Amino acid sequence: MTSDHAGRFVALQRTAAALLGGYAFTWGFIALGMALLFSAGMDFHDAEHLSAILGFLVFLCAFLWAFAGRSLVRVWAVLAGGGLLMTGGASLVQHLLT
């Protein structure tokens, strides 16, 4: 593989991590935020809107960090793993509310 192809492959991997990993992380953040805010007594739609608004900032930070992070493995671990953990935490909070 030439240097040019290797650079393109790394850029493609970073882009995939930024888009897919950032989406998973943001999804988990919004789900957990909604669940925690609602369980704290906030109206459901207010919790939904606040979490979604903050989610835009979270996605932007995750997207940018995916290109700035030193290790691609660490980027995937934090974004995909963190998203999975936050989604699981949101599911647990929602289960405890019922």
Taking CA 89 as the corner, what is the angle to CA 69 and CA 58, rounded to the nearest 5 degrees?
35
Its domain, for residue 88, covers 29-97
Residue from 64, 79, 68 nearest 25 by CA: 79
Predicted confidence (pLDDT) at residue 45 exceeds the cutoff of 90: yes
Confidence band of 1 (pLDDT split at 50, 70, 90): low
Q: Is residue 60 part of a domain?
A: yes
Q: Is residue 23 part of a domain?
A: no
Q: Is residue 56 part of a domain?
A: yes
**For the residues 43-48, what does the mean pLDDT come to?**
97
The total number of residues shown for the chain amounts to 98
pTM: 0.90
**Domains contained in the chain, number:** 1
Residue from 18, 20, 16, 28 nearest 65 by CA: 18
Give the pLDDT confidence of 50-98 residue by residue, as tens digits: 999 999 999 999 999 999 999 999 999 999 999 999 999 999 999 999 8
